[in-house]
Each structure stands twice: as C-alpha cells, then as structure tokens.
C-alpha cells in the first residue's frame, strides 16, 4: 500500500515544520503549503488528507474547504483553528471539514486525530505495531493487550483506551475534558466523573493488584498525568 500523502497547509513556519516532522516520524508523506493559493493547487493535485489552517494568506481555510468540497474532492480535512470563535464557525458551517484542533495543540494530538480520521474513512496506514514499555508495564497496541511482568492485565475497552491515551503522553497533564474527548468521543454526554471512575479501576488493576509503582497521578482540579511506573 502506497504511503498516505498529507498536505500541511499552515503559514506559521514553526508549526508547519513541527507537524511535518511528526507526520514523517509517523510514517506519512507530508507536503507543505504556506499560503492559500498553493494549498488549493496542491490539494487539487491529489492528497489523502489536508491539515488546513484557517488563517492562511491569500485564501482562508474556510474558502479552501468549501471550494474543495464544491469541486467534489473528498479528501478528509482537519482544520487547525487559532481561536474559539473559529471553532463555532467550523462546527456551525457546512464546510465539509472532518474534524478540528485548536491551537496550541500537541503534535501527538494532531497525529491521533489524523489516524482516527483515516480509520473512519477506511484508509489505514500500514500498521506499525507499537509496544509501549514503561518498566514492568507493556502496552501492545497491535494486540490491544496490557501486560505487567509479561502477564496480561484484563482491561475493558475504555480502560485500555484511557491508559493508551495517557501513556502515549507521558508526563503530560491531560484534563478530564481532553480524556473524555479522546476516549469517549465528542458526542459523549456523560460527565467528567466517568473519567475518575475509569482511572480508579485502572489503578486497582495495575497498582493495587499488580503492585505497579504509581503511574496514574491526579492533577488536582484538572485531570490526570501518566508517568513511568
Ligand atoms: Ca495562520
């Protein structure tokens, strides 16, 4: 299967290069555009996904998204927005965008969104099975298994996903909101206590039952942080 081509349309060079760097590391082919007209031209040449900054010189991201959809181009679009007011427009307008991220974002978050969009649209990357290892703890993404000292820990799907999201961002405090979004999805209408309940179960299974050093830390009034156990 040929590599997936992603167009990074962003006029802020530092952000663009950061994204390109992480996309390359993630096994994607990334091409770059720093203004609206170039973005439109490259998107028309054919790409698999567009990371589209809204505030682009020449033609803004809204117009580019509308134009591409009007022309019948179906490549998924992930909007990069700088302000909350833009989010309202992204969500409210019939732009045909598939998802959005708000600046400042972490490249890992963008990569996770890109992979989710590609999965939803049936394009998947050649799976590069990843095994995350933290001392005695192992998370095997290909097998969706978690092991401590090589022995399986039985986790429910949400517990697994929550641990994976946290362990993929070691040392980063993630808010309950962020965790809800990444594990349960945008349209989940439960409350933030759901996160607490699942963290509690993970702690029981990993830290109490398997005597793993504390790896899930509470960040008071905010959320949780994973550190190497
Ligand atoms: Ca911009």
Q: How many CB atoms lie within 10 A of CB 196?
A: 15
Helix axis angle for 193-202 and 157-167, nearest 10°, is 90
Q: How far is the CA of 55 from the centre of ligand 1 (A)?
A: 4
- Mean per-residue pLDDT of the chain: 87
Taking the centre of ligand 1 as the mean of its atom positions, its distance from the CA of residue 24, in whole angstroms, is 21
Q: Are 183 and 160 in contact (CB under 8 A)?
A: no
Is the fold of 5-120 the same as that of 131-226? no
Instruction: Note the pLDDT tens digit of each residue in 54-113.
Output: 999 999 999 999 999 888 888 999 999 887 777 767 765 667 788 889 888 889 899 999
Quick one: tokens of 41?
A: 């031209």
| Domain 131-226: which CATH number of 3.40.50.40, 1.20.59.10, 3.30.720.120, 1.10.10.10 | 1.10.10.10
Q: How far is the CA of 11 from the centre of ligand 1 (A)?
A: 5
Query: How far is ligand 1, taken at its centre, from the CA of residue 120, in Å?
Result: 27
For 17, what's the count of Cα atoms within 13 Å in the CB-facing half-sphere? 3
More confident residue, 89 or 135: 135
The string of DSSP letters for 94-148 reads -----EEEESS--HHHHHHHHHHHHHHTT--PPP---EEEETTEEEETTTTEEEE
- Pairwise CA distance, residues 47 & 189, whole Å: 34
Q: Which residues surround ligand 1, an ion (CB under 5 A)?
A: 11, 53, 55
* For residues 138-153, average pLDDT: 90
Query: Could you count the other beta carbons within 10 Å of the beta carbon of residue 143?
Result: 11
Q: What distance in angstroms lies between residue 12's CA and the mean position of ligand 1's atoms?
A: 6
How close is the Cα of 84 to the center of ligand 1, in Å? 14
Domain 5-120 class?
A: alpha beta
pLDDT of residue 16: 94
pTM over 0.85: no
* CA 15 / ligand 1 centre spacing (Å): 9
* pLDDT greater at residue 125 or residue 130: 130
Q: What is the structure's pLDDT at 1?
A: 44
Going from N- to C-terminal start, the domains of the chain cover: 5-120, 131-226
């Amino acid at each position: 299967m040929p590599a997936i081509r992603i167009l990074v349309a962003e006029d802020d060079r530092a952000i663009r290069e950061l994204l390109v760097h992480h996309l390359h590391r993630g096994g994607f082919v990334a091409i770059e555009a720093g203004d609206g007209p170039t973005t439109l031209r490259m998107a028309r040449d054919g790409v698999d996904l567009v990371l589209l900054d809204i505030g682009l010189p020449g033609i803004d991201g809204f117009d580019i998204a509308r134009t591409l959809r009007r022309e019948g181009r179906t490549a998924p679009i992930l909007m990069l927005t700088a302000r909350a007011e833009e989010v309202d427009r992204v969500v409210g307008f019939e732009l045909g965008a598939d998802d959005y991220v708000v600046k400042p974002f972490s490249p890992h978050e963008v990569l996770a969104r890109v992979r989710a969009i590609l999965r939803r649209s049936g394009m998947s990357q050649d799976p590069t099975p990843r095994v995350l290892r933290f001392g005695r703890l192992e998370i095997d993404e290909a097998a969706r298994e978690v092991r401590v000292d090589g022995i399986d820990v039985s986790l429910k799907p949400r517990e697994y996903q929550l641990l994976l999201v946290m362990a993929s961002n070691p040392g980063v405090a993630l808010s309950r909101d962020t965790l809800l979004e990444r594990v349960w999805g945008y349209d989940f209408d439960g409350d933030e206590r759901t996160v607490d309940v699942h963290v509690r179960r993970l702690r029981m299974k990993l830290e109490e039952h398997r005597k793993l050093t504390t790896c899930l830390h509470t960040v008071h009034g905010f959320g949780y942080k994973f550190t190497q156990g």
